[in-house]
Amino acid sequence: MTTPMLAGDRGLTADEVAARVEAGAVNDAKRHTSRPISAILRANFLTPLNAVIAVLAAIAIGFTAMEEGLLEGLKQGLFAGVIIANIAIGTIQELRAKRTLDKLSLLNQSNAKVLRDGEIQEIEPNRIVRDDLVYVEPGDRIMVDGPVVESRNLEIDESLLTGEADPVAKVHGDAVRSGSFAVAGTGLFRAEQIGADSYAAKLVEEASRFTLARSELRDGINRFIKLINWLIVPIALLLIISQLADAGNWRETIVKTVAGIVPMIPEGLVLLTSVAFAVGVIRLGARRCLVQELPAIEGLARTDVLCLDKTGTLTEGGMDIAEIRPVDGADPAVVIDALAALAAADDSPNPTMQAVDEHLREQGHADPAWRVIDVMPFSSARKWSGTRFTDHGTWLLGAPDVLLDPGDAMALDADVLAAQGLRVLALVTAESASTTGGISGVKAQALVVLRQRLRSTAAATLAYFKEQGVAVKIISGDSPAAVGAVAAQLGVEGAAETVDARRLPEDPDELADLLERATIFGRVKPHQKQAFVKALQSRGHTVAMTGDGVNDVLALKDADLGIAMGSGSSAARSVAQVVLLDDEFATLPYVVDEGRRVLGNIGRVSNVFLTKTVYAISLALFIAVGAIWSWIAGNDPLPYPFLPIHQSLINVFTIGLPAFFLALAPTFDRARPGFVKRVLKFAIPAGICCAVPTFVVYLASLAHDGYDSDLPQTTAAITLFCLALAALAIVAKPYVWWKALLVGGCAAAFVTVLAVPPFARFYELQLPGAWNTTAAAIGVASGVSALLFWLVVRPKHLKD
């Protein structure tokens, strides 16, 4: 397109650009939209847990092979196969998620505009070269650093760099820096600091991901891992020392010790969490929803207050002119010419001015070619724009309640129209006006009435959030009456009780009290949106904020979850954690559902994995103490009841296979805080209820069948499997057909292993006799009864 600037400089020529590219003077700093492949492989393969499992597998295989041959050794190392499968699944899903993210990020990428050969060209940011003249208009991010060459009332918001909310006016020679963004006016600046060596590259990365979305899920799992690491080492050492008392059968003792250590490690929990996040990214990507930070998936699931910017969220992009109503005494022809001249003078028209220009062109009204002295661009803080003409004075277009006296007849007409859900602007002349010195000598000329296009899905989406118990706050820079009318059309409760943000209390506590009561807010300035978010957060709310314009950036940045529209400004998209690429507000319920699926299912999976860890640690501790006591008393040493192959069998049918399906299942329960506490309140009693009966049954079977029989370990394996399956059955509720089939199928698979001789021999088990079956049944009944008793007497636990 042809440049609207007045600068004599035509920018770099094609030959000059080519020379700089050849010299490497290119803005080659790259923003990573997803983890590189090397990082994904490293995160899935090279982990401390995988290293521990690999060492234990090598020990089990090696010591068994020394005694019984390589095939028997590989059989005892079968538990490592679960890790291999988890690594493969996790890697594949993360690579699929990366591909989805990269594709969506290309759609979300903001191009730069540069002046070359006398024309404004749109290019990718990494094609900017040194000395390029970069053109910016409202909503554009500053991607490189340099001095302003030309300014038409250019104002830059540097809040992401300095924390100051007020825009900074930029004139010739002033520096602009990356990480800031244009909020008003237009301008050209020279790209001087570019590429990875510049301060600019670091700030682009920082502005694009200013804060990491907090993940209680991720933090909770990390806490589990740290706690388990502290417990495993001393208990494993105690188990090793206690089992070495059986010096005559030291190879089998070492292998059984490995079997005691392996189930203490929640080896698949971290990987399944990554898989759940990755699948969430893929599912949301199919709905053209870009998740710029993976933990943000759970953000909206935890949200209990959703702040909506009316324009662009509840309404569609663009507006239609309903009426141009000149004031009594004004010349309609002059009014039309003034509007056409204002539209022609605006270098970067906002949607309102675009609607005016489109309407006048459709009506055949051409630009009257009024000569321009100065242009005052629209600012969301001022609520007006204007132009000073050589022969026609100063004309302004903006909010009636800002430009007109409240008692003016035209202001009253504007209020009536706004109450009908229409957007109303006042066209006035002024004796003087400036962006810093205010306005004087205002004379009303006309009302410009616009009809906003409500999104067809907005009412249903708002109803969804109401059903889910998420409070909605509608925030807009429009008049309270107009915002209230739109809210009423969408069925929002409290639409009749609107609040004018110009009369908001300054005290943060009073503001928070008002926000708890009210729903609809009009005439809200950008810094007030930010104050709204902070006030709600001060009352313990998890706040999500939607927006599409530069006036939403501060609030998007400070919200627990920022959600930007894909067609919105690049500044808004750069600070948001979630971008709705198709601008569809109705996508938000799917984001909520996906977040709830991740949180709910990882909670279930964590219950299962941590139950296994607790019963493994408890059994190891019981056996170690029992073995030491037997050694002191001079009795036969107490061996660990299981071989690694037994743990492989139990784990695959009570944890590995079921956990994979549960991690990806649909769930719609609202997320609640207290993830760690909730999981531990189930896993600790469930693990103990599995370990104690198994240990008691094992001791009883040793006394009955002797140390040389395989029946004690078979009886213990049956008891532990049934108790672990019972814990899984409790975790899997509420039941649907496939969950019942999953639990029943796992039980049937274990019974098949016991009943089919080749399988039983492979897993070194045998069918139990009547005595052993009765002992196992009593152990299972006592463990399940104890766990159910715990759950019944803890109603709060059930609610969690």
Taking the model in full, what pTM does it have?
0.67
- Check residues 515 and 139 and name the one with the higher pLDDT: 515
The two tokens of residue 687 are: 């693990």
Give dist(CA 352, CA 521) in Å, integer. 20
Give dist(CA 775, CA 790) in Å, integer. 23
77 pLDDT tier (thresholds 50, 70, 90): low
CB 587 within 8 A of CB 285: no
Give dist(CA 573, CA 303) in Å, integer. 20
312 pLDDT tier (thresholds 50, 70, 90): low
Average pLDDT (118-139) is 86
202 pLDDT tier (thresholds 50, 70, 90): low
Q: What is the pLDDT of residues 236-267, one digit of tens each?
A: 777 777 766 555 566 666 766 776 677 777 76
Give dist(CA 74, CA 619) in Å, integer. 25
Rounded (5°) CA angle 601-605-611: 145
Would you say residue 212 has pLDDT above 50? Answer: no
pLDDT at 767: 81
CB 613 within 8 A of CB 264: yes
How many CB atoms are located within 10 Å of the residue 488 CB? 17
pLDDT at 211: 41
Q: Which residues contact 430 (CB under 8 A, 6 or more apart)?
A: 386, 393, 394, 395, 396, 439, 440, 441, 442, 443
Kindly state the helix (H) or strand (E) to which residue 454 belongs, with its residue range.
strand 443-454
pLDDT at 293: 67
**For the chain, percent of residues with pLDDT exceeding 70:** 80
Widest pairwise Cα distance in the chain: 114
Radius of gyration of the chain (CA): 34
Question: For 238-369, where are the E strands, in sequence order?
Answer: 289-291, 305-309, 315-326
Average pLDDT (520-535) is 87
Would you say residue 199 has pLDDT above 60? Answer: no
Average pLDDT (299-327) is 80
pLDDT at 741: 92
Average pLDDT (113-139) is 87
Would you say residue 93 has pLDDT above 70? Answer: no
Active site residue 328: no
pLDDT at 198: 56
Q: What is the pLDDT of residues 712-745, one digit of tens each?
A: 888 999 999 999 999 999 888 878 888 899 999 9
33 pLDDT tier (thresholds 50, 70, 90): low
pLDDT at 752: 92
Would you say residue 506 has pLDDT above 70? Answer: yes
Q: What is the dihedral of CA 313, 316, 317, 318, to 10 degrees?
A: -140
Average pLDDT (447-460) is 84
Give dist(CA 327, CA 605) in Å, integer. 68
Would you say residue 184 has pLDDT above 70? Answer: yes
Q: What is the pLDDT of residues 557-597, one digit of tens each?
A: 888 888 888 777 777 777 788 888 877 888 888 888 777 77
Pairing label, strands 181-190, 561-565: unpaired
Q: What is the pLDDT of residues 620-644, one digit of tens each?
A: 888 888 877 877 777 777 787 877 7
Ranking 316-320, 465-469, 510-514 by mean pLDDT, the lowest is: 316-320
pLDDT at 1: 42
Q: What is the pLDDT of residues 351-360, one digit of tens each?
A: 788 889 889 9
pLDDT at 208: 42
The two tokens of residue 317 are: 């992009």
Q: Exactly one of 157, 309, 357, 552 is catalytic; name it.
A: 309
35 pLDDT tier (thresholds 50, 70, 90): low
Q: DSSP secondary-structure letter at 376?
A: E
787 pLDDT tier (thresholds 50, 70, 90): confident
Give dist(CA 670, CA 600) in Å, integer. 8
Averaged confidence pLDDT in the chain: 80
CA 257 to chain centre: 42
Would you say residue 207 has pLDDT above 70? Answer: no
* Residue labelled with tokens 């009318």: 485
Would you say residue 278 has pLDDT above 70? Answer: yes
